[in-house]
Amino acid sequence: MATKHSRAAARLMISPAVLLLLGWMIVPLAMTLYFSFLRYNLLMPGMEEWTGLTNYEFFVTDPAFFTALLNTLLLVGGVLLITVIGGTLLALLLDQPMFGQGIVRILVIAPFFVMPTVSALVWKNMFLNPVNGLFAHIAGFMGLPAYDFLGQAPLASIIGIVAWQWLPFATLILLTAFQSLDQEQLEAAEMDGASALSRFWYIMLPHLARAITVVILIQTIFLLSIFAEILVTTNGGPGVASTNLTYLIYVQSLLQFDVGGGSAGGVIAIILANIVAIFLMRMIGKNLEA
């Protein structure tokens, strides 16, 4: 995009796509906004009326709201932490020449192809279950009492399940980044007297910065709206211990048939997502500049 002319042409060319996307986004957003200002309960049809900010007031003063907010951030942060660190180490490992490399790589990617509901069910019933689960068996084998993961540490368990799902994604992106690292740079660093750890810290990690940024941004978008895993495993409980904003909105609008309240929750979730996005872009967005 060097010249003024080509820039103008580029804008013209991408405008249909931008307009379509904008419309696609604006219509549901406008409807959500509109509903959020109505008293709109499906149990009382025909009684919709303008209520101003009541729905918001109601949603925010809900005692579950702050727990849900905190849980959402913990869930996103926890999964990001595990997947980025775990993904980097796994990618480093997979980048080494070894026997059966192709098969190992496919195996590592496999969890990404499992549907969230299915993986949550498998984890809940086959691994975490305090009676039949694999972990309970292992604990029993070692003479330890079984631990009720979903009852005692529901949020941590869900973070674990979601991290397991997203680890392959992070690994894959970071592996390609590792593979694009110029080997001569590593050799130069080796000649310069850098230890393996220094080479990782000073050469590999900076090279990975952009890929890590991409992983964080993409994952955050999806992690803010985790739902199926919670519904299948804990139903947001015990109490609201594993309820995030998405799940709270579901409880509000679908379980209580309150479209207005749910919409207000949705708008709050959008605002939260944008705050997170701005925060992230400030922090790591500069890595994406060429």
Partner 1 sequence: MGRIVLNKVRKSFGEVEVIPPLDLEIEDGEFVVFVGPSGCGKSTLLRLIAGLEDVSSGAIEIDGVNATSKRPSERGLAMVFQSYALYPHMSVKKNIAFPMKMAGMPVAEQEERIAAAAKALNLTDYLHRKPGQLSGGQRQRVAIGRAIVREPQAFLFDEPLSNLDAALRVNMRLEISELHQTLKTTMVYVTHDQVEAMTMADKIVVLRAGHIEQVGSPLELYRNPRNKFVAGFIGSPKMNFIEGERAASRGAHTIGIRPEHIDLSVDPVEGAIVGKIGVSEHLGSDTFAHVHCEGIGLMNVRVSGEADIHAGDTVYLQPQEHNLHRFGEDGLAITL
Binding site residues, partner 1, CB under 8 A: 182, 184-185, 187-195, 198, 202-203, 206-207, 209
Tokens 């985790």: give the residue: 226
CB of 290 to partner 1, least distance (A): 9
CB nearer partner 1, residue 203 or residue 269: 203
CB of 230 to partner 1, least distance (A): 40
Burial, 87: exposed, middle or buried (Cβ in 10 Å; 0-12, 13-18, 19+)? buried
CB of 216 to partner 1, least distance (A): 18
CB nearer partner 1, residue 195 or residue 274: 195
Q: Which helix (H) or strand (E) holds 38?
A: strand 38-39
- Is 86 within 8 Å of 167 (Cβ atoms)? yes
CB nearer partner 1, residue 15 or residue 180: 180
CB of 192 to partner 1, least distance (A): 4
CB of 6 to partner 1, least distance (A): 23
Where do the H-state alpha helices sit in 48-100? 54-61, 63-94
CB nearer partner 1, residue 105 or residue 207: 207
Count of beta carbons in the 10 Å neighbourhood of residue 233? 22
Burial, 263: exposed, middle or buried (Cβ in 10 Å; 0-12, 13-18, 19+)? buried
Residue 103 makes CB contacts below 8 A (sequence gap 6+) with none
CB nearer partner 1, residue 57 or residue 187: 187
CB of 289 to partner 1, least distance (A): 12
CB nearer partner 1, residue 159 or residue 211: 211
Residue 96 makes CB contacts below 8 A (sequence gap 6+) with none
CB of 197 to partner 1, least distance (A): 11
C-alpha dist (Å) from residue 114 to 111, 186, 232: 5, 36, 15
CB nearer partner 1, residue 69 or residue 209: 209
Strands 38-39 and 49-50: antiparallel
Whether the CA torsion 161, 119, 257, 153 is positive or negative: it is negative
